[in-house]
Amino acid sequence: MQSQLNDMLKQAFAEATKLYQERGFQRRVGFGKKPALINVDLANAWTRPGNPFTCEKIDDEIIPGVQRLLKACRENNHPVIHVTTCYQVTDRNNPHTDMGLWHNKIPVDVVNQEDENIWAIDSRIAPIAGEQVLIKKRASSFHGTYLAGFLRAAGVDTILVTGVTASACVRTTLCDGLAEGFRTIAVRECIGDRVPGAVEWNLFDIDAKFADVESVDRCVDYLSTVKG
């Protein structure tokens, strides 16, 4: 089934590429002079088995890729922001919950702030001293947070985004990042989801409209050569 789906998507992408390029889509935003790495929701609730939010390809692709990006950032003094999600009031009947209305669509109530283990960043890519750990309440890492201000104060013009999911939190972070005036780069091998085809389709569409989708190899090379 996965093979058939991939073949169908490739055919659809080929046709869509013709349409997009004829109409001026799929332009390049490019790498800038000052990058930052934003890892979106690579916390235990998303990276470890047995949770409602558990995603695919975490162990074999996403974590190893992010480890390479982190190494390049740390060696070259580039800012790193680890983003996670949790809530103080997870009672769905409490009108004052910080979940807003999102719990009416997905089980965000399982990510209770009191259970630090569930929303902690995966230990394999754990933050080190000087790296930001940002808690968000909505899909986008920019919505209602200090992220844009932090990046501007640091002189950042380019954000490399990894994490989960391609169809929600990663996508909205990239969309809002571009809207906030940052050059947006989606790191292909370091973005995941739960549903077959979701990564492929969203990265294709993101590359056409909101960010450049680049390989982890190219991103590591960029982080290793641009001045920090």
**Superfamily covering domain 35-225:** Isochorismatase-like (3.40.50.850)
**What are the pLDDT digits (tens) for 173-213?**
999 999 999 999 999 999 999 998 999 999 999 999 999 99
**What are the pLDDT digits (tens) for 19-74?**
888 899 999 999 999 999 999 999 999 999 999 999 999 999 999 999 999 999 99
For all residues of the chain together, what is the average pLDDT? 95
- Catalytic sites, residue numbers: 169
The whole-number pLDDT of residue 7 equals: 78
The backbone region for 172, taken as left when phi is positive above 0, alpha when psi lies in -120 to 50, beta otherwise, is alpha
pLDDT over 70 at 1, yes or no = no
Model confidence band, residue 228 (pLDDT cutoffs 50, 70, 90): confident
First to last CA, the chain: 45
Q: What pTM does this model have? A: 0.95
